[in-house]
Chain A
Amino acid sequence: MKQVIFKIKENTPIAKNTYKMVLLGDTSGVTNCGQFVNIALEGLYLRRPISVCDYEDGTLTLVYKVVGEGTELMAKLVAGKELDILVGLGNGYDTKKSGDKPLLLGGGVGVPPLFALCKKLIGEGKKPTVILGFNTSDEVFYKEEFEALGATVLVATADGSVGTKGFVTDAMKELDTYTYFYTCGPMPMLKAIYAATNTSGQFSFEERMGCGFGACMGCSCKTNFGNKRVCKDGPVFEKEEILW
């Protein structure tokens, strides 16, 4: 974990209620894809945890959906503004277990952390397939970005306005075999994926957090291997660990 002051380069809407924030600053504290950052916002007492969408030397990209007080404030921030951010929080995804053809399943605001993961997998010479799930067409984002990385991308929308009509698990049925899976998204989707997958995989969870670095026990969960903290021992857990 590292405390870093970042400067906002851009903060723009890319889909319905969804924003992309590009930040400039020291990203050396981000050590893995699937980690999150914790952002101090003026007027709020607690920091807000947001997953890392992409990180390169000196540039941090966050994609977030406006869902409450914190993200409403974030959406109003303009370029040039400085933010106090704790980076390098959480474990992130482990790509060692992926095999050649990993499957990435993202639902809505759960899509962003899969981007840095996808980039890493491709960098390792693997051939990921990505399924992105949304409610409707105007919520769809990052399809082209994933394609530009070289991934095969399928989209599912609940209303059928783009891609397969239904959920990511419906789009999964159109696929050949996969060697492993990675996912992030709303709880009902994660549960459906747990049931629908026939390989091991990794799930990224979301929880309200106090500190974000393992001190307060605000985000604990029970697992098959004892009590864990979503912020410090997670947010990524392996399928075998999960107790619903």
Chain B
Amino acid sequence: MVNTKVNLLGIELDNPIIPASGTFGYGYEYAELYDINCLGSFSFKGTTLEPRFGNPTPRIAECASGMINSVGLQNPGVDAVIAHELPELKKHFHKPVMANVCGFSVEEYTEVCRRLDGEEQIGWFEVNVSCPNVHGGGLSFGTSPEAAASVVRSVKKVTTKPIIIKLSPNVTDIVTIAKACEDAGADGISLINTLLGMRIDLKTKRPVVANKMGGFSGPAVKPVAVRMVYQVYDAVKIPVVGMGGVSTAEDVIEMMLAGATAVEVGTANLPNPYASKEIIDALPAAMEKYKIKNLSDIIGGAH
């Protein structure tokens, strides 16, 4: 008998699998297909203060072993999430859920966390600092150690729930940013968000997605993600949640060896809606194959 349980910031997960924000909505579409309570948890759609339609379409482009998206943080806004989505989510999912929070100013991140803080089912905040900083010239909060740290310090004041900062890989030095977040009081780090990418349509000779650039994700980005999780694990003492191209139970083990306490599954859910469940089902056999009894024993095992 193998043990797939892990502990993420004081909350025990039945397994480390967490569908990633933006690929799982609020869980309903998947709950039609399987009992989503098999998941460790899931990170719901990134939430901003006001409702957002997001970017114009087309928002999606095919890539070799992956895809580009430029959804642009479409969401109904925090008040609608509290009034409609979370009560509905609760009917389908009975475990602590991860609240993904986005913002275009420090004040917005803080206000969204403050309003969500009273929601019992939220176990952790995952604060996505990949959004453009409207007060800081449009560069994302996640590309500046100071800007990322200022978000952490501010949101920590309005909630006692653990704050996991979701980092962008589109930086020159991920370690400095991760350390700045840790020093500012972050409880955990999750990474990687998507890599900035572009595809051009040869017939129209224009970029495929309307926003020109978008976030590249899928199996192709996994080596980048494993490398960054490995580097960040080395540099910080707080737990790391790894993601980026994870599609199989073996990918989960690899991510955990690199240093991940829990593992998010994102893009894989889109071409295969059963991906997260299949990974969970395959995990015990993969653990036996690699002689792993307790999954939590292998966290950072490659160091």
Contacts and interface: CB of A to CB of B under 8 A. Distances in A.
B57 A216 contact: no
Contacts of B32: 1
B67 A46 contact: yes
B29 to A, nearest CB: 5
Nearest to B61: A208
Contacts of A222: 53
B270 A227 contact: no
B273 interface: yes
A74 interface: no
B67 A45 contact: yes
B59 interface: yes
B53 A220 contact: yes
Interface residues of B, number: 33
B63 interface: yes
A209 B60 contact: yes
B25, B53, B66, B271 — which one has the most chain A CB atoms within 10 A of its CB? B271
B223 interface: no
Given A86-B273, A216-B23, A216-B270, A221 B57 contact: yes
Nearest to B63: A45
B69 A216 contact: yes
A215 B45 CA distance: 9
Interface residues of A, number: 27
B60 A46 contact: yes
Contact of B62 (A1, A44, A215, A219): A44
Contacts of B29: 211, 213-215, 232
B178 interface: no
A219 B60 contact: yes
A1 B197 CA distance: 31
Provide the main secondary structure of the chain B interface: loop
Interface string B45-60: 1000000011001111
B96 interface: no
A227 B59 CA distance: 15
Contacts of A220: 53-54, 57, 59, 71, 74
A208 B270 contact: no
A217 B270 contact: no
A46 B273 contact: no
Interface string A219-236: 111100001000010000
A207 B57 contact: yes
Contacts of B274: 3
A219 B57 contact: yes
Given A208-B60, A215-B270, A218-B69, A227 B24 contact: no
B65 interface: yes
Interface string B132-148: 00000000000000000
B33 interface: yes
A210 interface: yes
A40 interface: yes
A127 interface: no
B69 A210 contact: yes
A222 B51 CA distance: 13
Contact of A208 (B22, B45, B58): B58
B130 interface: no
A217 B22 contact: yes
Top 6 closest pairs, chain A to chain B, by CB:
A208-B58, A218-B60, A211-B270, A208-B60, A217-B74, A214-B29
13 contacts: A70-B62, A207-B58, A208-B59, A210-B59, A210-B270, A211-B269, A215-B269, A215-B273, A216-B71, A217-B54, A218-B59, A220-B53, A232-B29
